[in-house]
Amino acid sequence: MSAAANPFGLGTESPYIEVRRREWAELAPSTALPLRESELHALRGLGDQLDLHEVAEVYHPLSRLLNLYAGAARRLHRETSDFLGERASRTPFIIAVAGSVAVGKSTIARLLRELLSRWEDTPRVELVTTDGFLYPNAELEARGIMHRKGFPESYDQRALVEFVAAIKAGAAEVRAPFYSHLAYDIVPSSSVIVRRPDILILEGLNVLQPPRPGTELALSDLFDFSIYVDAEEAHVAQWYESRFLKLQRGAFTNPNSYFHRYASLTEDAALARARELWSTINAPNLRENIEPTRSRATLVLRKDADHTVQTVLLRKL
């Protein structure tokens, strides 16, 4: 392990410790990996190359680290309550997972939910994505920003902050809007309900954004731990194109899919459309909004061209 060598243009000194894959794997818990191949298959996202070997070497140690952080937060809460002479209710430990489209953050969030729930002291783990806080398509159209869906301004930031703040305050039940990837829109009659979990994982493109001008609280101010899933832009672009082609042959063939119009494209035409979407929407969002928040993360997972994590950067305490 060593200090990261100027990973984000922060000068000669870095606030991160850099751990190579082999060293990180040696930190794996002595307990057996609590996951079977059939379970991993259900968690794996389209195009992800994740296997049990990587789960054992990368994500099992990460789940233990997160478990330790959550335990330390509980102990600090007890000691603070004793110091103040009160018995305040314990609140959920909140973990954010950020990164580009197609980088694999959704799979990582689902996997961490499963691994963390199998540690004895954190059995109740909930996962919420920020997709539910996108404005409905009709609102995006009315604002003239449908082409910027996924950019910070396309989210109801106030509702998102209020949702996480209510969970952090220990509310008995908090509801989030439900987003359908098939319809590519909010489903008005549905919601996601969160009831006082031990851990909440919040996954999304822009969860690490700093406070907006004129606001006092940023969403990231409410997090106890944050993870940024990192990779070279060229690799992410290739993963996006590959995923688009698989969706075009799969989910897009459903007549109810918002993207059904792409199902009849030839492979060359579909690839051209994927590249257009990447260059006009996803790449600009990555460069302007998502990647600049990387240095705000507690931990950075750096992926190689084959989707495997090769380096872990952990912020120094």
CA distance 178 to 195: 16
Helix (H) or strand (E) run with residue 18 in it:
strand 16-20
How many residues does the structure list for the chain?
A: 317
pTM of the model: 0.94
A 10 A CB-CB count for 301 gives 25
Percentage above 90 pLDDT, the chain: 79
Residue 16 CA to residue 230 CA, distance in Å, equals 14
Two tokens, residue 96: 């954010």
Dump pLDDT digits (tens) for 9-53. Answer: 555 578 999 999 999 999 988 878 888 899 998 898 777 778 999
Per-residue pLDDT tens over the stretch 164-196: 999 999 999 999 999 999 999 999 989 999 999
* Domains located in the chain, CATH noted: 2-315 (3.40.50.300)
DSSP state for residue 221 in the 8-state scheme: G
Query: Which residue has 């606001």 as its token pair?
Result: 215
Q: What are phi and psi of 36, to 5 degrees?
A: -105, 165
